[in-house]
Each structure stands twice: as structure tokens, then as C-alpha cells.
């Protein structure tokens, strides 16, 4: 995926989920964005 393929949008999370995302991303050495993309990709890949 190139930068031209990426779309930007705002994601609103409640504080509990935001803290969990921050914790998990940090443990994996990822940014929060990279962690969310990874989780979404995994979830959507399993649906196809």
C-alpha cells in the first residue's frame, strides 16, 4: 500500500478502549495507528 492508497479519517474511541490500544501498541512496539490498522486488517481478512 502506498501513501496514495491511504485514506484519512477520524476515529473516536472511549477512554477505556483508547487506553487498551495504547497499551497493546506499546507492548508490540507499534504506533497506535499501526496497531489499529493491524487489528482491522486481521479482522477483515478473516471475514473474506
Residues 6+ apart with CB under 8 A from 31: 25
Q: 3-48: per-residue pLDDT in tens?
A: 678 899 999 999 999 999 999 999 999 999 999 999 999 999 877 6
Res 40: pLDDT: 94
**Domain ranges for the chain:** 12-47
Predicted TM-score of the model (pTM): 0.80
Res 22: pLDDT: 98
Specify the fold of 12-47: Arc Repressor Mutant (1.10.1220)
For the chain, what is the radius of gyration of the CA atoms? 12
Checking if the pLDDT of 2 tops 90, the result is no
Res 47: pLDDT: 74
Q: Which 3 state secondary structure label does DSSP give 17?
A: helix
Q: Which 3 state secondary structure label does DSSP give 16?
A: helix
Amino acid at each position: 500500500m502506498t501513501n496514495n492508497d491511504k485514506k484519512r479519517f477520524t476515529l473516536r474511541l472511549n477512554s477505556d478502549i483508547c487506553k487498551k490500544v495504547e497499551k497493546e501498541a506499546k507492548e508490540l512496539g507499534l504506533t497506535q495507528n499501526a496497531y489499529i490498522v493491524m487489528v482491522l486488517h486481521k479482522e477483515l481478512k478473516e471475514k473474506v
